[in-house]
Each structure stands twice: as C-alpha cells, then as structure tokens.
Structure 1
Amino acid sequence: MFGAITGDIIGSRFEFNNYKGVDFELFTSECCFTDDTVCTIAIAEWALNNYQDDLVAIVRKWGNKYPYAGYGGTFVRWLNPNVIPVPYNSWGNGSAMRVSSVGWLCNDIDTVLERAKQSAEITHNHPEGIKGAQAVASAIYFARAGKDKAFIKDFIEQLFAYNLNQTCDEIRPVYEFDVSCQGSVPQAIIAFLESRDFEDSIRLAVSLGGDSDTIAAITGSIAETFYQGVPEEIKAKAVTYLPQEFLDILRQVEERK
C-alpha cells in the first residue's frame, strides 16, 4: 500500500494541472499527501484489526484529523460529526484509491472481494463504486500471488467487464478529468499493465491526465505489489511527506503481509 501513497504524493501536484508526458520531476515542494492517503491509512487500520472495528468510525476519525486533505464535497458532509453517516450511492474512485491494504492482507480471492465491498459500501455503495474497489484489490491480490499481467488483465476483464485493451498512447490525447470508478480505474490498471517497473507505472499514470493523484495511487498500489516494492530512493523521499502515525500504520502492514 506504500505504492498507493507514493502515487498520491507524486500525482498530487498534477490533479488540477495535468501534464501529459512522462518527463517530470517526481517530487517537488508542491507535492503533498491528499485524501487518497488519509483514506488508505484508515482502511489499513481496519484491516490490521482483522476487520472487527467500526469502519465508519475509523474513516471518520482519520478524515476529521486531516480535514484539509482535499475530500469531495459529499464525503466532507459524511465526515461531519453532527450528521448520521450513511452511504450516498457514490460511483467515485474514492473507493478504489483507498482499498490497497485489503489486497495485501486477505489470503483468498473470495475474502478479497467481500472485504473490498465492505470497504467501499460505507460511502460508495453504487455498484460501480464497489466494482472499482474490488477490481483494484483483486489485481493487488493476484500480483501478490505471483500471477502475471496477462492473468490479472483477463481476470479483471472477465469479472468486472472493464475494457483494458487500450494503450496509454491511445488514452492520453482524449482523456479528461473523470472521478468515476468506471472512468478512471481501467485507465489506472492499463498504466500498470503497460509499465516496465514501478517508477514507469507512476509516470504513465500521471501522463494520462485527469484525476492524477488518484490514478497514480491506484496504479502505484498494484505496481508496488507486482514489482515487489517501491524502489528505496523513491520510498525514502515519499516518507518525508508523511506524519509519523501514517508511517506506523505502514510499518504494521509491512510486518503482517
């Protein structure tokens, strides 16, 4: 899941300032972690506690601790301590960017699909929101299990009916800002499938444009698993953007996986 957070940090400065190329500096003073990271940490805490704790309470706790991380308006209202939090039928990609720990910490595909669904439906209970989370968690699980890209691609296409046959070069010229799962998760997976290594996957994800931090977070979460880690020099730089309590959760996931 460190790959998701690294993608979020690198992609953060391009979310509303897209750069449709791969020749950019990975880290600058304009980079930061966003809601993608905060929510990833929240789901990880739930997963680390064997899914026994109140997920809604955990996500609201972290969200309200970092209130300026760039959440969408509906999610901000869901976080409000003065309202009763109920799912709001979202098909947004927030369900997909936060799910990586489920793919890391579940040990069979049926459990992955069920926990990914549970992680999504507290807010994103639209079928597309659930599907996006399940697709990303499945890709991570199978990458962790040593499956090749052809297997991962085929599984996701068959179960979730995503079209993964485009290339990044075909997507890039026409792709626009899209926060839906159905309009960003396939693109993020394609960036992973086309990549040569972890860094290349993040560069390809950012180069597509659109919701750059979230696309890079999704791509990075899968790429980290497939390429067996985030390169040390990239990881060392990403760490400098994170508070200690995030690093503590990340360490616990590393120890458990």
Structure 2
Amino acid sequence: MSVVDTSHPAVRSLFGLAVGDAFGAQILMPGDHPAVLERRLPPTPWNWTDDTEMACSVYSTLARYGHIEQDALATSFAAHLDPDRGYGSAAERMLLRYRKGESWREVAPAMFGGTGSWGNGAAMRVAPLGAWYGPDVDAVVTEAAKSAVVTHSHPEGVAGAVAVAVAAAIAATAPGIPPGEFLQAVASRVPESEVRRGIHAALDLLHTDDPRDAGQRLGTGHRTSAPDTVPLAMWLAARNLGSYEEALWTAARVASDLDTVCAITGGIIAAGPGSASVPPAWLQACERLPEWVAG
C-alpha cells in the first residue's frame, strides 16, 4: 500500500495525525484566546513535529514488514531523528543511543531509574497502526504494545498506545458509533491502568459541553504523560467522530501539549470515512510528509 492511497484508513489516519500535529504546533495562544474562539487559522506553512516524524516510522515499518518489526522500528526512529522537531530531551538522548548501536531492549527499560517512560510519545504516533489492522482488534492491541515498548516500556506508556490504536481501529470500522459505546469499546481493550481509569472518567464527562471542565478532570497533557494526555484525546474524539475541525478547535481551547493532543485526536478521527476527513485547506497548509515514509 502506498502513502498516496488515501482510500486506506491507515493513510487517512497518518494525514489526520500530521495535520493535527502541525495545526496544534502553530497555535501560539491556546485557551480562550480570540484567535481560537473566532477559529482563525494560523498562518501557513504548518510544520509538524516529532509526533509526525515518529508516526511516519510506524507507518513505514508496517508498510515494509506487514507488522511491527521492533528492531527496524527502533532503527527508523534513530535514523530519522531531527532534533529541531521538538523531541523531549530524554527521547532525543534515547534515540541518539540507538543511533550509536545500543539496543532498545536495554535502553528503554532503564529509562527514568528503571521504570521506563510513561510519557505520551508512544500514544502520539500510533493511530495509523490501529487503522491499519482495523477489525482485527487482537492484532491492534498486540502490535500497538510492540510499537510502544521500543521507547516507552512503562505499563502506562503501553496502555496509552493501546488505547489510541484501538480508538483508531474503531473509528475506521464502526462509523456512526455512539460516543459512549466508542469509549466503552476502547476501555475494554486497555489494560488496568491510570489511562484506563481516565477513559472511564471521560465516559462520565460526555455530558459536559465545557472543555475546560473536561481538562480539569482528565488532564491537558501538561505533564506530557500518557495518563495526562490520552483521556482528553479520547473525550475529544468520542464527541467529534464526524467532525475533525470541531475536535481540533475544541482541543485548542483546553490542551496544554496541544500538538500531541491534536495529533492523537486527529489521527483517530481521520481514520473514519466521509465527514471525518481532514479539510482540504488544512491539508494544503500542512507541510508535506517526508518522501521516505513511502518506503
């Protein structure tokens, strides 16, 4: 499958992730700023961040091998590391060690005093994987976890990746699913964790129309952890599965790690068909994906 095959849910998801990431990275005044409240699009071009760069490695590994070949994924992450894309300092150091030949099997679990990372990095890049496997949810869970531990071996980091991948798979295969059923279906496949508890909290908050209330209860990504980021993205996606724009403008009012929340949310929603698609003007504004993603 080619990255130009925009009929495939995984490709739609990858573009939705990249545009969401780039959109979020350009919003300099998130919250109730007039530019956000009036929904004025940021100036172009919209450049994407490490979220998209790593998602391209996930997609290209799937396209090449048909599954997550972990050594190849780690090599791709390291080979395409561009420090100017906004990588966190710990992630940059990790990938530089991979580039020098150290094994992810030793480096990733040793991070943060031996706990492994529970950041949102595994979740931010994984939506296209969920869309790739679609109805095979067992494969979605297995391959999402395999993709996560290459850099994020803490159970919360893995749970965040599983949640996002399952959400994208559901968006791709069950258009029109009610928000509550969507969140229940995601939570049912996520291992016991703070991420899972956050998704259940998002389910309880589906009635609220105030994104600030949701952010206060679910987290905004301020701590860049999976438990502080994924539940809000789930709430945004569940309420806006048919409206990419609405989801991202709502995110701009509440999220702290805005590019990542928008990447996750956009990647999930764009996996769906029809009205979930990315607006053409937003696609035109976004920086093109790298040529290497097509293999």
TM-score (norm 1): 0.86
Structure-2 residue corresponding to 1:193: 238
When structure 1 is superposed on structure 2, of 102-111 and 156-165 the one drifting more is: 156-165
**2:271 is paired with a residue of what secondary structure?**
helix
Structure-1 residue corresponding to 2:213: 170
Match of 1:19 among 27, 31, 52: 31
Match of 2:281 among 208, 233, 238: 233
1:236 is displaced (CA, Å) by: 2.2
Q: Number of matched residues? A: 244
Change (3 A) 1:101 1:225: closer
Structure-2 residue corresponding to 1:2: 15
Change (3 A) 1:128 1:74: same
Could you say which structure has the larger radius of gyration? Answer: 2
Moved runs in structure 1, 4+ residues, more than 4 A? Answer: 172-176
1:78 is displaced (CA, Å) by: 1.1
Alpha-carbon separation, structure 2, partners of 1:173 and 1:225: 28
1:194 is displaced (CA, Å) by: 2.2
Structure-1 residue corresponding to 2:60: 45
**1:68 is paired with a residue of what secondary structure?**
helix
| AA at the equivalent of 2:38 | D
Map residues 111-122 of structure 1 onto 2, 5 A cutoff: 111-122=139-150
Alpha-carbon separation, structure 2, partners of 1:159 and 1:109: 8
Change (3 A) 1:113 1:22: farther
Structure-1 residue corresponding to 2:3: none
1:30 is displaced (CA, Å) by: 7.5
Structure-2 residue corresponding to 1:219: 265
Structure with greater helix percent: 2
Contact 1:206 1:215 in 2 (8 A): no
RMSD: 2.3
Q: Deviations over 1:120-141 (max 9, x none)?
A: 1011011110011110110110
1:234 is displaced (CA, Å) by: 1.9
Mark the runs of 5 or more structure 2 residues left unpaired by the alignment.
1-13, 191-195
Structure-1 residue corresponding to 2:10: none
**1:91 is paired with a residue of what secondary structure?**
coil
Contact 2:215 2:232 in 1 (8 A): no
1:32 is displaced (CA, Å) by: 1.8
Change (3 A) 1:183 1:46: same
Structure-2 residue corresponding to 1:255: none
1:218 is displaced (CA, Å) by: 0.6
Map residues 48-59 of structure 1 onto 2, 5 A cutoff: 48-49=63-64, 50-51=66-67, 52=69, 54-59=72-77
Alpha-carbon separation, structure 2, partners of 1:83 and 1:54: 12
Change (3 A) 1:22 1:141: farther
When structure 1 is superposed on structure 2, of 39-48 and 163-172 the one drifting more is: 163-172
Alpha-carbon separation, structure 1, partners of 2:127 and 2:245: 18
Alpha-carbon separation, structure 2, partners of 1:70 and 1:170: 28
Change (3 A) 1:13 1:96: same
1:17 is displaced (CA, Å) by: 4.5
Structure-2 residue corresponding to 1:209: 255
Mark the runs of 5 or more structure 1 residues left unpaired by the alignment.
253-257
Q: Deviations over 1:71-98 (max 9, x none)?
A: 0111111121336242131111111110
TM-score (norm 2): 0.75
Q: Deviations over 1:194-229 (max 9, x none)?
A: 226111111111211310000011110111123442
